[in-house]
Amino acid sequence: MPYEVLAVRYATRQARASEVYANHAAYGEPDHPIRMDYFFWLLRRAGRTIVVDTGFTPEVGQARGRTTLCAPPDALARLGVGPDDVDTVVITHAHYDHTGHVALFPRADIVISARELAFWTGTYAGRAQFAHSAEAADLDTLRRLDAAGRVTRVGGRCEIAPGLELVDVGGHTPGQLVALADGEGGPVVLASDAVHYYDELDLDRPFGVYADLAGMYRGFDTVRELAAESGGAVVAGHDPAVLTRFTPWDAADPGFAVRAG
Ligand SMILES: [Zn+2]
C-alpha cells in the first residue's frame, strides 16, 4: 500500500548563489539572490506515520537569521498528525535544520545512518566548520535517545518499512540519507540535502557545505540512478521549486505543503 508523501515547508530565507554553491566563482557567472526554503517530509498510510526530518525550532531559526513560517509541530497538527501518531522518525542527517524536534515523538523509532551518528558523536564534530551546521543540544538529544534504545542505525541501502528504502549516500555529511518511497502518485526520491536545489543535479553543481566533495558528486549520481530505476520524481531538500513542481496540499495555501507522491 503506497504512502501519501508530503513535502512541508516550515521556514525560508534569502540567500545568494555564492553562499549556496561550492566555489561559485569557478562558473564565471555573476552572483545572484536565491531563496532557500526549509522542508520536512511526512509519509503516511493506514497504520504508519513516518516523519522524515524534524526542522529547527523557531528559536534556533531566529538565532540563525531564518524565518519560521510554521513550526514543524504546528505544521504536523495542521496535517492532522500528533506526536503520538508518529511511529518512525528518519533523520536524514544531523544538521540543525533537520534535528530540532527529534525528541517530540514519544513512541517513534529514530532512524539515522550509523556513520552519521558516529561522526556527530565522534572526534571531528566539534571542529568549527562542522559544529557550525549542528546544534549541540540536538546532538545531545540524539545521544540520549540512543542510550534509551530509541535509535536504529542503518547503512548502505535498506528497506525500513514496506515501500520505504533508505540509501546512505554521504557527501553533504558523512552519512547523508536519501529516501525512496512508494508514493500514492508514483515513486518518490526524497533527496533531502543530497540535492538542495534542482540545479545541483541539472548543472552538476555541488552545494557549498560538504563533508566529502567527491561523495557529493557520487550522491548526485545515486539520486539520478534511483530516479531512473524507479521512474520516480526527485524532491530536492531546499528548493522553492518543490512548491511548483508538485500539487499543493491546500490549494488556498500553496506555500505550505505539496503532495510529492
Ligand atoms: Zn538542510
Q: What's the gap in Å between 38 CA and the centre of ligand 1?
A: 7
Measure 35 CA to ligand 1 centroid, in angstroms.
Answer: 13
Write down the pLDDT at residue 40: 98
Taking the centre of ligand 1 as the mean of its atom positions, its distance from the CA of residue 221, in whole angstroms, is 19
Residues near ligand 1 ion, CB 5 Å cutoff = 97, 193
As a CATH number, domain 4-259 is 3.60.15.10
| CA–CA dist 96, 59 (Å, integer) | 12
The CA 257 to ligand 1 mean position distance, Å, reads 17
What CA–CA distance (Å, rounded) separates 126 from 203? 33
Average pLDDT, the chain: 97
Give tens-digit pLDDT for 71-118. Answer: 999 999 999 999 999 999 999 999 999 999 999 999 999 999 999 999
Centroid of ligand 1 to alpha carbon of 193 (angstroms): 5
3-state secondary structure of 14: strand
Task: Tell me how far the alpha carbon of residue 179 lies from the centroid of ligand 1, in angstroms.
Answer: 15
Identify the pLDDT of residue 14. Answer: 97
**Letter for the amino acid at 69?**
L
User: Helices in 79-167 by DSSP H: which ranges?
Assistant: 96-99, 114-120, 128-131, 136-147
Task: Read off the pLDDT of residues 46-65 as tens digits, 9 standing for 90 and up.
Answer: 999 999 999 999 999 999 99
pLDDT, one tens digit per residue, over 38-51 is 999 999 999 999 99
Residue-wise pLDDT tens digits, 200-241: 999 999 999 999 999 999 999 999 999 999 999 999 999 999
Distance CA 125, CA 175 (A): 13
Quote the ligand 1 centre to 226 CA distance (angstroms). Answer: 20
Torsion angle of the four alpha carbons 160, 165, 168, 172, in this order, in degrees rounded to the nearest 10: -120
pLDDT score for 261: 86
User: If you measure from the C-alpha of residue 169 to the centroid of ligand 1, how many angstroms do you get, rounded to a whole number?
Assistant: 15
**pLDDT, tens only, 115-171:** 999 999 999 999 999 999 999 999 999 999 999 999 999 999 999 999 999 999 999
Q: How far apart are CA 157 and CA 165, in angstroms?
A: 7
Handedness of CA 80, 39, 175, 139 (dihedral sign): negative
Q: What beta strand segments (E) does the chain contain?
A: 4-16, 33-45, 48-52, 67-68, 88-90, 109-113, 151-154, 157-161, 164-168, 177-183, 186-192, 233-236, 247-248, 257-259
| Location of C-alpha cell 530509541 | 150
* pLDDT tens digits, one per residue of 176-193: 999 999 999 999 999 999
Q: pTM for this one?
A: 0.98
Q: How confident is the model at residue 25 (pLDDT cuts 50, 70, 90)?
A: very high
